[in-house]
Amino acid sequence: MGQHRVIVVGAGPAGVRCAQMLVQRGMRAILVDENRRDGGQIFRRQPDSFGRSYGKLYGTEAPQARDMHDTFAKMRDSIDYLPETLVWNIAGKRLHLACEGRAFTRDFDALVLCTGATDRVMPVKGWERAGTYSIGAAQIALKAQACSIGASVVFLGSGPLLYLASSQYVEAGANVVAVLDTSAFSRRVRALPKLLARFDLVRKGAGLVSFLKRAGVKVETGVEPVEILGTDDAGVSGVRYRDAGGEVRELACEAVAIGQHLRPETQLADLAGCRFAFDTATRQWLPECDELGRSSVKDVYLAGDGVRVLGADCAEVAGQLAAAAVLGDLGYPIDAQGLGLLKQKRTRFERFASGIAEAFPWPAEQITRVSDDTVVCRCEEIRAGELRRVVRDEGAREINRAKAFSRVGMGRCQGRYCAHAAAEVIAGCANVPVEQVGRQRSQAPVKPLGIATRQEDA
Amino acid sequence: MKPRFVRLAETGRKSVRICVDGVEFDALEGDTVSVAILGNRSHLRTTEFGPERRAGFCMMGACQDCWVWTVDGSRLRACTTTVIAGMNISTKQPEVQWANIA
Instruction: State how far the Cα of A119 lies from the Cα of A265, in Å rounded to an integer.
Output: 10
* CATH, domain A365-437, list 3.30.1330.10, 3.30.428.10, 1.10.10.1100, 3.90.45.10: 1.10.10.1100
CATH number of A6-117+263-356: 3.50.50.60
Given a cut of 70, whether residue B99 has pLDDT beyond it is no
Q: Chain B closest CA to A140's CA: distance in Å?
A: 7
Residues in A closer than 8 angstroms to B76, CB to CB, are: none
A340 burial type by CB count under 10 A (0-12 exposed, 13-18 middle, 19+ buried)? exposed
- Is the Cβ–Cβ distance between A208 and A165 less than 8 Å? no
What pLDDT is recorded for position B97?
A: 58
Please tell me which residue of chain A has the smallest CA distance to B75.
A450
Residue A47, chain B, CB below 8 Å: the answer is yes
Residue B43, chain A, CB below 8 Å: the answer is yes
Provide the residue ranges of all domains of chain A, joining segments of one domain with +: 6-117+263-356, 121-260, 365-437
Instruction: State how far the Cα of A76 lies from the Cα of A29, in Å rounded to an integer.
Output: 11
Instruction: State how far the Cα of B35 lies from the Cα of B69, in Å rounded to an integer.
Output: 15
Query: What percent of chain A is predicted at pLDDT more than 90?
Result: 96
Q: Chain A closest CA to B86's CA: distance in Å?
A: 19
How far is CA A188 from each of CA A41, A130, A152, A205, rounded to the nearest angstrom? 26, 33, 28, 11
What are the beta bridge partners of residue A94?
A91, A107
Q: Averaged over A204-227, what is the pLDDT?
A: 97
Please tell me which residue of chain B has the smallest CA distance to A170.
B8
What is the phi/psi pair of residue B77, to 5°? -90, 105
What pLDDT is recorded for position A407?
A: 96
What pLDDT is recorded for position A3?
A: 85
Given a cut of 50, whether residue B102 has pLDDT beyond it is no
Fold match between A6-117+263-356 and A121-260?
Answer: yes
Instruction: State how far the Cα of B73 lies from the Cα of A197, in Å rounded to an integer.
Output: 54
What pLDDT is recorded for position A193?
A: 96
Residues in A closer than 8 angstroms to B75, CB to CB, are: 450
How far is CA A187 from each of CA A190, A205, A222, A256, A361, rounded to the nearest angstrom? 5, 15, 10, 24, 9
Please tell me which residue of chain B has the smallest CA distance to A35.
B80
pLDDT tens figures, B72-88: 888 999 999 999 999 99
What pLDDT is recorded for position B98?
A: 57
- Is the Cβ–Cβ distance between A43 and A25 less than 8 Å? no
What are the beta bridge partners of residue B73?
none
Given a cut of 70, whether residue A175 has pLDDT beyond it is yes
A82 burial type by CB count under 10 A (0-12 exposed, 13-18 middle, 19+ buried)? buried
Subunit contact A136:B57, Cβ cutoff 8 A: no
Residues in A closer than 8 angstroms to B43, CB to CB, are: 130, 235
Given a cut of 70, whether residue A1 has pLDDT beyond it is no
What are the beta bridge partners of residue A89?
A96
pTM: 0.96
Q: Chain B closest CA to A234's CA: distance in Å?
A: 7
Instruction: State how far the Cα of B71 lies from the Cα of B68, in Å rounded to an integer.
Output: 10
Return the ∠ at Cα B54 (arms to A360 and A251), rounded to 5°: 50
Nearest to A232 among B51, B57, B75 (CB): B51
Subunit contact B54:A51, Cβ cutoff 8 A: no
Residues in A closer than 8 angstroms to B49, CB to CB, are: 380-381
Residue B51, chain A, CB below 8 Å: the answer is yes
- Is the Cβ–Cβ distance between A212 and A163 less than 8 Å? yes
Given a cut of 60, whether residue B96 has pLDDT beyond it is no
What pLDDT is recorded for position A254?
A: 98
Given a cut of 90, whether residue A307 has pLDDT beyond it is yes
Given a cut of 60, whether residue A400 has pLDDT beyond it is yes
- Is the Cβ–Cβ distance between A15 and A304 less than 8 Å? yes
Residue B36, classed as helix, strand or coil, is helix
Q: Chain B closest CA to A379's CA: distance in Å?
A: 7
Q: What amino acid is encoded at A189 in this protein?
A: V
First to last CA, chain A: 29
Residues in A closer than 8 angstroms to B61, CB to CB, are: 34, 447
Average predicted confidence (pLDDT) for chain A: 96
Say how many residues make up chain A: 458
Q: Averaged over A370-388, what is the pLDDT?
A: 97
Residues in B closer than 8 angstroms to A255, CB to CB, are: 4
Q: How many CB atoms lie within 10 A of CB A332?
A: 15
Subunit contact B58:A133, Cβ cutoff 8 A: yes
Subunit contact A118:B58, Cβ cutoff 8 A: yes
CATH number of B15-93: 3.10.20.740
Query: pLDDT-derived band of residue A450, with 50, 70 and 90 as boundaries?
Result: confident
What pLDDT is recorded for position A393?
A: 97
Subunit contact A151:B50, Cβ cutoff 8 A: no
Subunit contact B53:A174, Cβ cutoff 8 A: no
CATH number of A121-260: 3.50.50.60
Q: Chain B closest CA to A354's CA: distance in Å?
A: 26
Given a cut of 60, whether residue A337 has pLDDT beyond it is yes
Q: Averaged over B25-38, what is the pLDDT?
A: 97
Given a cut of 90, whether residue B100 has pLDDT beyond it is no
Provide the residue ranges of all domains of chain B, joining segments of one domain with +: 15-93
pLDDT tens figures, B45-75: 988 887 899 999 999 999 999 999 998 888 9
Interface of B with A in 23-42 (CB under 8 A): 29-32, 35, 38-39, 42
- Is the Cβ–Cβ distance between A449 and A103 less than 8 Å? yes
